[in-house]
Structure 1
Amino acid sequence: MAQPDEPHPPVVPSCPLPSKTCDVVPTERPRSCCGMALAGLRTAKYHLPEWHRRNAGVCFEAYTTGEQAERGRGEAKHLMKHAAASAQRAQGYSKATLGQRLQDLQFWRVELQKEIMELDAETNLLVAQKLRLERALDATEVPYSVVIDNLECRERRQPPDLVIDEVEKQLMKEADLIRDIRDLLKRTIIQAKSTPRARPEPTKTQPHFPRGKNPFESQKIGINPIYPIPCSSSASTPKTWAQFSHDNISRAEQEKLASVQLRSLINNIIHDASEDLRMQRAAVSEAFDSHCRECFFLGFSLQILKDIGDEEANIENLKKAIRDKEAFLKVAQSRLYDRSCRPNVELCRDEPQFRSAFKQIIPTHLSNTLTHLSNIPTLITLC
């Protein structure tokens, strides 16, 4: 703020002093006895009128000089009083402006300290989110190694079982998903690490006064008030200084907003990644369960086929047993026929006849059993 214009001291106008004429009695100078040889020259002594005229001139000059000195002393006293009053007013104005300046400094300092504290808290939250990202990245190593191990185990199968089924498709999909999630987490960690930690510069707003000195007394801090202090071309004005502090606060707000957005992005990434992994794990588990059920039914079918094979072998054994009993059957039938031709009392149902009849019944029983066993594979196939 420019200082008010100081009133100029009054100027006393100069006036000419009254002239004083000295009357000198004219006298006749003695004629020179030297004639024309001394024409134009004067003697070494002055006449009394000349001396009076000279003294009158000196007195007039002294009187004039005294009056000028008197006027100078009056003007000097007036200027000293005016300078003292102006200095007092300037000192009061400087104190007032310096006090206002200190209030502005304190205000901006408090604002910057507040922004620094909020930015530090936000930075700590961002660091915590970065740690979550790193832990999430470490947590994906075990599932990824398990998936890769399962795929490698399936690659080592023999050609009949080396098939691309639903389980392998889901495992490959899970491996690709985990790989993409790991790449995304790594990029997000790099972005979180590269985020600049914007901090305002509070030193620009702090007053630089020597310790123990009064900022309102310029003569006590080594400043000579007689000589002007040179001002650098790079010095700032109050407007640019306030704009600099405002820019610091605006930059801190922008960085804080960017940090909040980055933390929200990290939360969304971790949540979405966990949900995708959970859904894919459920899909893989469902594929494994379905494949296990298929294997169980396949094993049950293999057991049924084994039972069918056993029954067929049993049928063949029964057929062989029947064929082996045909000779005994023929002998028993021949004996029964011969005994049936006996006359009267000789036709007796004794023990040999019962034994022969029993031998005839055994092949019939075996034939019925063979017929029953032959129907079992057909029933199993229909089931």
Structure 2
Amino acid sequence: MELIGSTRTSTYARPKTSHFLPAISTMASSYRNTMNPGANLWKTSSYFRNCCNVPTSASMQRDNLELVRANTMFYPSNRTILSTRFTPEEWYKSNQNNYRESESSRKSAERLRRDTIRLMQDKEQLTRRTQENSSKNIGERLNNIVFWKSELTHEIENMITEIAALTEVKRRLERALAETEGPLQVSQECLYHREKRMSIDLVHDDVEKDLMKEVEVIRSCQERMRRHLDRAIAQLASNRAAQHELERDMSDKVTAQRIDDRCHHLRNTSDGIGYYRGIERLDPSLSLPESWSKFTDDNILLSQSQRAASHKLRDEIEVLLNTTSNEMWNQFNSVNVAFTNRISETSDAKNSLHTHLAKTLQGIFQTEMLIESLKKALRDKQSPLKVAQTRLEERTRRPNIELCRDNPHHSLVNEVREIEDTIQKLQERLMEAESTLQILVKTKVTLEHDLSVKANSLFLEQEKCMSLRKSFPSMPRLVGYT
């Protein structure tokens, strides 16, 4: 047997029965004389009656012996007969056996008591250590929950900020897309108004080319904006789904933390504790620590990936807004420059037409004066022709030999021919002057028509188109700012 206070756990031989105490059969020798079956007959009959409810043959025999002993007290002859049953050595030996059995039983009982006390102390310490270990594990679990809660809180805040930023960029994109409708309508109306040009001014000039290109640029910008707007809507849905998963995980962790915190503060003296038989055999768990941590980590990683995609989309939308606004403004300036150049060319042409019309009118006036002069000259040639022809006719009446082809005759003939030739030339020149006058009049009509065409073109481009293009939105509005 080991010393009391030893650091090692005491051991003893336990009986093979299911009881801690030794069997009754092993203890009977302490109270029975093995040499004489009647050694325990000193006990009164009341003891056996109290110990045994059902009388047996042994009890009946003991009662008879007690009756015999009682009888010997009154009958000396009988007492003398029974007094020689045991010797002093037997009596002494019986006492010594009883002493030894008593000492052995007391030692066994003392050893059992010490071992039991030590067992109870060890089990108490083991129970306390186990409870402390359980509390420590719950505390560590609470620390893990607090850690993941902080991670979830941080990620939820970042996701809320990202959703707000993406929503603002989406709103700007919607405003920018709405702002492009005005310039598109202006460009289309300019093309429509320029279809009202007349005659030769219906030319496929640089203005029309730039206007058509402007319409294509605006429609291309609108198409890209719509695509990015659809992506922004889808990304917002993904962000909100990730936020929902984070918030649901956060709600579960808040509930788990409240439950574990209540469990962590439970003590042996706490209220509300009770027996729940068989609860240790019930395992309602749905995850392991690894899968538990991985679930939250996956949610955070998914949220981070969605935030990265959202941030990338926001950058793309910012670049798109700046690119589209620059493209539309550059094309707008190109169209305005083309309009300015075309208006300048039309104004110059109109001024030139005015100059040519004035000169044409002056030519018409001069040609009319020339025609009048030619007509007067023709009238003036009639009298000299009449005089010369009359002279020739009168000289034909000279008689006989006086009909001489003299110098006067030759002179008169030459005069008549010269006057007729002059009249013919003057008539030809009159015809040329009249033809020139017709040409000048036709030119005047053409110039006046062209002037009206140019005036109409200038009105359409200056008053109609350029006045409409003054409503083109500014650069901040094209990028979505109010």
Q: Provide the TM-score with structure 1 as the length reference.
A: 0.66
* Equivalent position SS for 1:193: helix
Residues 77-92 of structure 1 aligned to structure 2 (within 5 Å): 77-92=117-132
Which residue in 2 is equivalent to 1:30?
Answer: none
Q: Distance in 1 between matches of 2:57 and 2:309?
A: 106
Which residue in 1 is equivalent to 2:332?
Answer: 281
Residues 304-343 of structure 1 aligned to structure 2 (within 5 Å): 304-326=355-377
Residues 252-267 of structure 1 aligned to structure 2 (within 5 Å): 252-267=303-318
Q: Distance in 2 between matches of 1:9 and 1:169?
A: 108
- Runs of 5+ in structure 2 lacking a partner? 1-7, 16-21, 39-55, 66-100, 385-432, 441-482
Change (3 A) 1:172 1:327: closer
Change (3 A) 1:233 1:156: farther
Aligned residues: 304
Bigger Rg, structure 1 or 2: 2
Which residue in 1 is equivalent to 2:426?
Answer: none
Q: Distance in 1 between matches of 2:263 and 2:273?
A: 12
* Equivalent position SS for 1:217: coil
* CA RMSD, 1 decimal: 4.2
Instruction: Assess if the C-alpha contact under 8 Å between 1:210 and 1:221 holds in 2.
Output: no
1:285 Cα deviation from its structure 2 partner: 1.1
Choose from 303, 319, 322 the match for 2:354: 303
Change (3 A) 1:24 1:111: closer
Choose from 35, 41, 48 the match for 1:22: 35
Question: Which whole-Å deviations, capped at 9, do the CAs of 1:276-306 have from their partners, x for residues lacking one?
Answer: 0011111111221222122122212322331
Q: Distance in 2 between matches of 1:221 and 1:184?
A: 65
Choose from 126, 130, 133 the match for 2:173: 133
Which residue in 1 is equivalent to 2:251?
Answer: 203
Which residue in 1 is equivalent to 2:421?
Answer: none
Residues 121-270 of structure 1 aligned to structure 2 (within 5 Å): 121-158=161-198, 160-195=200-235, 196-197=238-239, 198-199=242-243, 200=246, 201-206=249-254, 207-209=256-258, 213=262, 215-217=264-266, 220=271, 222=273, 224=275, 227-232=278-283, 234-270=285-321
Amino acid corresponding to residue 265 of structure 2 in structure 1: F
1:72 Cα deviation from its structure 2 partner: 7.5
Change (3 A) 1:108 1:208: closer
Which residue in 1 is equivalent to 2:51?
Answer: none
Instruction: Assess if the C-alpha contact under 8 Å between 1:129 and 1:263 holds in 2.
Output: yes
Q: Provide the TM-score with structure 2 as the length reference.
A: 0.53
Q: Distance in 1 between matches of 2:170 and 2:372?
A: 83
Report percent identity of matched pairs.
25
Which residue in 1 is equivalent to 2:13?
Answer: 12
Instruction: Assess if the C-alpha contact under 8 Å between 1:167 and 1:288 holds in 2.
Output: yes
Q: By percentage of residues, which structure has more helix? A: 2
1:127 Cα deviation from its structure 2 partner: 0.7
Q: Distance in 1 between matches of 2:197 and 2:282?
A: 87
Q: Distance in 2 between matches of 1:317 and 1:24?
A: 185
Q: Which has the higher contact order (CA 8 A, sep 6+)?
A: 2
Instruction: Assess if the C-alpha contact under 8 Å between 1:213 and 1:221 holds in 2.
Output: no
Change (3 A) 1:24 1:202: closer
